[in-house]
């Protein structure tokens, strides 16, 4: 085997190996960069979720308050002015039967 053949074989082995090592270091750097970006995006997403959760809880509390007022208005009989007969002036009297809707709030916790 001549020196040129040995040099050609050595270059054929050394060049791909060196390129593989260089490529591997670049891949490692890329992995680190991607992990950092994913960590930043994850932190931003958590902040967004927490803020939206707080806003959603406020809206649910507001809706629960509205629903409670509606339930109380339905359950409390209104005072009506009803005439007893044609000759007497109207008197203050509560209705005897009040329809109460069965509203259940067990899904709200």
Q: Where are the domains of the chain?
A: 3-101
Within its chain, how far is the Cα of 24 from the centroid? 39
- For 15-73, write each residue's pLDDT tens digit: 888 888 888 888 888 889 999 999 999 999 999 999 899 899 999 999 998 988 888 87
Torsions phi, psi for 81 (to 5 deg): -100, 110
pTM for the full predicted model? 0.39
8 Å CB contact between 83 and 91: yes
Q: How big is the CA angle at 69 (ends 94 and 75), to the nearest 5 degrees?
A: 35
Q: How many residues comprise the chain?
A: 109
Cα diameter, the chain: 136
Which of the pair, 56 or 86, is modelled with greater confidence?
56
């Amino acid at each position: 085997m001549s020196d040129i053949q040995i040099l050609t074989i050595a270059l054929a082995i050394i060049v791909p190996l060196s390129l593989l090592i260089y490529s591997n270091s670049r891949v490692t750097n890329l992995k680190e960069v991607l992990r950092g970006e994913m960590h930043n995006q994850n932190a931003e997403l958590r902040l967004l979720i927490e803020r939206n959760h707080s806003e959603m809880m406020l809206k649910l509390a507001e809706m629960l308050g509205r629903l409670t007022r509606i339930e109380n208005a339905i359950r409390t009989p209104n005072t009506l002015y009803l005439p007893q007969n044609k000759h007497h002036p109207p008197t203050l009297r509560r209705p005897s039967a009040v329809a109460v809707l069965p509203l259940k709030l067990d899904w709200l916790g």
